[in-house]
Structure 1
């Protein structure tokens, strides 16, 4: 049952990554933070590919598809997600990002004609119900600085939903290549490098972003590094380990329990228990994801 521990560990390290990233994302801005974090991830994956072997079976069209996936899933989704993180805080941002699962399902149905079961539609409804509960009723007795920027909630939710949709589109674009059996490390390296190069333009050519880069100090650099190590490094490694040894649907559902795992972590940091309806909303969102995977299995 080591895969269960690994899947739950994935959720834990994804949650930790969000908490670590929060201060740096607020001070540096979503685009600059995303650029720095993605650049580190690209370098790491490139080293791994060089130490192992580049997937030479990839065709030109497949490389272009992976690059397009990187534009949507790394450049757009990550930039939007970290901009939302700065406005919403880690708890609400992580919860809203769970919509990427039903968005993937709906995009597959609309653009690829994939069949959607009634159970999957039920799961989608449960996910959105959980978010509505948490957003509408679960933010009372807020945890101060950890609950985002005052007055920026609506903008943050819009950014988080856009990030989730962009991420879902990126999975849709990459799906044909991955289903063919492409090496996941090579594919991730292509996506990460494309996203880094795309983010380089707004990060360096927009004056406000250049000023943000100039604010980078040792403390913020360490937060960027540790966030990437926790999420992309340890989190994804544990998820791959779990997927190799356990049922995909159960592993995916356990790995997606980040919104619930995050709540006690925020509680420990702030010494204030999140509102009851915040727990209810997070539980509904995770349950909805589990129902979607059950409907698609």
Structure 2
């Protein structure tokens, strides 16, 4: 399967998982939910790596690089994204996080000598613009929610969102040379997840109040969190690493940014709320851009 399709599948995994991630995340708190989700994902990934023998592809140099990528992308990046979401809400934080595609394209050009030309460049601009339009102007006029309010300084929220996007880009691109060596993607994901989980454990042991769970974990919370770990982290992140092995890092990042667009029909199906016209226009731009790239 082409790397671009693998990136699209990863984006679809993240879109689907967001539907059943919301209830436990709201009840437990964003950081506690992430910690539990990383625990489940680590167990699942290491089990697969042990069964398939993929763990044998890891060496000392790979472990250090994967660990650093996990701290930057999963621990720092996710924490900054959740902090941004608490200040600006999921819609505006989604727009800011979508800039990771732009960061990735620029960084891949600077450090990996990757270039995007011709129709692929036109398609990339359309795709990124469509994603941002779908999220930024995707709210219906008759909808009002407390998530749309700004809490604290706007500049800090914007800075946190951009930091999350930058961390996502750096953490993914730094693995491109490593993944090109043929290292097992499942074992690589397991290592990244484990180091990020260890960092979360240190944060929890520090006694920082926001790192504590807001409520006790129920069986329903555990089931939904485990399902989210399987779909979003175990499958989605492994697909991204696999796409990085053979594809252009910049294009893989651009394709993986379409999660907000893929979420539109899912939200319509589940919540019976038709997205705004601007959201559909943005989705059409993203689909057109995807077709031009492919």
* TM-score bracket for the superposition, by shorter chain length: 0.7 to 0.9
Partner of 2:150: 151
Deviation at 1:171, TM superposition (A): 1.3
Contact 2:15-2:263 within 8 A present in 1 as well: yes
Q: Deviations over 1:64-114 (max 9, x none)?
A: 111111112221223333445556666665565443333212111223443
Cα distance, 1:199 vs structure 2: 1.7
- 1:81 is matched with which residue? 81
Q: Distance in 1 between matches of 2:95 and 2:289?
A: 12
Are 2:94 and 2:135, in contact at CA under 8 Å, matched by a contact in 1? no
Map Cα deviations across residues 141-165 of structure 1 (whole Å, 9 max, x no partner).
36555x8353259566654443232
**In the alignment, is the contact (CA less than 8 A) between 1:66 and 1:187 conserved in 2?**
yes
The count of aligned residue pairs is: 285
The correspondence of residues 71-110 of structure 1 with structure 2, limited to 5 A, is: 71-84=71-84, 96-110=96-110
**Could you tell me which residue of structure 2 aligns to residue 20 of structure 1?**
20
**What displacement does 1:195 show?**
0.9
- Could you report, residue by residue, the CA deviation over 1:129-180 in whole angstroms, capped at 9, with x for unpaired residues? 33553455332336555x8353259566654443232111111111111111
Return closer, same or farther for 1:92/1:223 CA change in 2, 3 Å cut-off: farther
What is the deviation of 1:203? 2.8
**Compared CA separation, residues 175 and 234, structure 1 to 2 (3 A):** closer
Residues of 2 paired with 1:144 and 1:270: CA distance?
Answer: 15
> Tell me, which stretches of 5 or more residues in structure 2 are unaligned?
none
> What is the TM-score of this pair, normalised by structure 2?
0.76
Kept in 1, the 8 Å contact 2:57–2:184? The answer is no
Q: Matched residues in 1 for 2:119 and 2:4: separation?
A: 24
Per the alignment, residue 230 of structure 2 pairs with 229
- CA shift in 2, pair 1:284/1:271, >3 Å: same
Counterpart mapping for 1:204-243 below 5 A: 204-210=205-211, 212-213=212-213, 215-218=215-218, 219-233=220-234, 235=236, 239=239
SS of corresponding position for 2:199: helix
Residue correspondence of structure 1 range 127-142 to structure 2 within 5 A:
127-134=127-134, 136-141=136-141
d(CA) in 2 for partners of 1:98 and 1:15?
A: 13
CA contact (8 A) 2:73 2:172 kept: yes
Task: Answer yes or no: is the 8 Å Cα contact 1:98–1:285 preserved in 2.
Answer: no
**C-alpha displacement at 1:18, in angstroms?**
1.1
Q: Which SS does the other structure have where 1:180 is aligned?
A: coil
TM-score (normalised: structure 1): 0.76
SS of residue in 2 equivalent to 1:74: helix
Preserved CA contact (<8 Å) 1:24 1:223 = yes
1:1-297 residue pairs with structure 2 within 5 A? 11-84=11-84, 96-117=96-117, 119=119, 121-134=121-134, 136-141=136-141, 143=143, 148=147, 150-152=149-151, 158-210=159-211, 212-213=212-213, 215-218=215-218, 219-233=220-234, 235=236, 239=239, 257-285=258-286, 287-288=288-289, 291=292, 293-294=293-294
For the residues of structure 1 that align with 2:114 and 2:255, how far apart are their CA atoms? 24
Where does structure 1 lack aligned partners over 5 or more consecutive residues? none
Query: C-alpha separation between the residues in 1 aligned to 2:6 and 2:171?
Result: 25
